[in-house]
Chain A
């Protein structure tokens, strides 16, 4: 069994799961063109969910914090990106360069908000309730409710239309296969973030500290590292990833409401 586990690990371990699922789906779907279309769509959706959930996983894994308010970062990221895109509406139809600049600004805006909100959230809301799961649930649920009300107050309850850059509209048709361009973009961005996180966690000293901190926070401190600073950094990173995921999800749905994150 150990040998089987070692072989499985060598060939990618848990990363093989999507490949196996895709293979099973290929058999079940039958038609290759439908399979490609659905697989790309599923991967894109999965990548957006990955962006939103990876922060939650990092924060729970390293800090043992149950952050029910994580979805607030997703909602804010979506609304901030959507507002920037709406404000730069003229750029979206002004050629690829201007539209790309608008999109980049929207994503950077969402990420910046996520970093700042993460810093605020960790220092003001989470820090007093470390090691107390019940209070974490209560206070982060409260923060989520307050966040939704803030979104309602700022953006109103009417569904907000998210404009998309023209170059991300439509689909590529290759034979019988139809691939939506926005989904491809979402997949590519998710893949870049995934690779970035892999490099950060597996090839840098910070990543080594995060992995060690997940296992034994006390020992990391005893080795001379201030784990609180690491916690703040990880929380900010997690919040920024959630906001980025929210921004991407907003572009995917094109009509968003304050309950987007909670949903």
Chain B
């Protein structure tokens, strides 16, 4: 059984129909990549899963339960974390406060905290600093760390490498590989090389519909398909 199964999800924002019937399945474990051109509907898909925009017809099954129509907070409590494109960190709060807010009981599990320090050493260094003073890469690390400070079944991550230096992108890739050992990641990414190095399964979304799904290995080997769906040249 899939961890997340989306069937015919349609989302309308104001008067605009953004998703016209998105369907795909995210298997449990590993990194699932959602690819697509700008404006294809990738971010809307993640936000709709998270309940930040309410999808109309269709279903969003998570661990066998339909979560479409649930409040965002209830979806989060089921074990889905969200790392938005803009990182969504609270700049006026310290690194520690940002993380403690994401804990269920207001205190850290020492083992999880150690894991966060190991994955993102900069966060330990800037523990008491206000988050606005962090660099773009450190903010992204904080955003991801917030998603793993508690056990989650699924993490939705939206374009985490955007605007980051190559060294930070590489570190982020390592972190995602480690996180994916225990948690499923649904990753929206424009950086195809980064996505290719991480993903096992994937789907391509275009104009609010899934136009291709399969394994990343097959897609990475088909330059014509990449060109047709993503506009990538060989």
Contact = CB atoms under 8 A, between A and B. Distances in A.
B72 A212 contact: no
Interface stretch (A37-45, A139-147, A219-227): A219-227
Interface in B73-116: 73, 76-77, 81-82, 84, 88-93, 97, 100-102, 104, 106
B90 A221 contact: no
Among B84, B90, B104, B106: residue with most chain A CB under 10 A: B90
A222 B82 contact: yes
A223 B102 contact: yes
A89 B212 CA distance: 80
B175 interface: no
Contacts of A223: 76, 101-102, 146
A47 to B, nearest CB: 25
A222 B90 contact: no
B93 A208 contact: yes
A176 interface: no
Nearest to B131: A215
A131 B51 CA distance: 18
Contact of B92 (A211, A225, A226): A211
A222 B88 contact: yes
Contacts of B106: 205
Interface string A45-60: 0000000000000000
B84 A224 contact: no
Interface string A191-225: 00000000000000100110110111011111111
A208 B131 CA distance: 14
Contacts of B71: 221, 226
A160 to B, nearest CB: 43
Contacts of A209: 101
B52 interface: yes
Contact of A222 (B50, B93, B97, B104): B50
A225 B73 contact: yes
Interface in B47-76: 50, 52, 71-73, 76
B101 A221 contact: no
Given A218-B52, A219-B84, A224 B93 contact: no
24 contacts: A208-B93, A208-B100, A209-B101, A211-B90, A211-B93, A212-B93, A215-B90, A215-B91, A218-B88, A219-B90, A220-B101, A221-B73, A222-B50, A222-B72, A222-B73, A222-B81, A222-B84, A222-B88, A223-B76, A223-B102, A224-B104, A225-B73, A226-B73, A227-B73
CB-CB nearest 4 A-B residue pairs: A224-B76, A219-B88, A221-B72, A222-B82
Interface of B: 50, 52, 71-73, 76-77, 81-82, 84, 88-93, 97, 100-102, 104, 106, 146
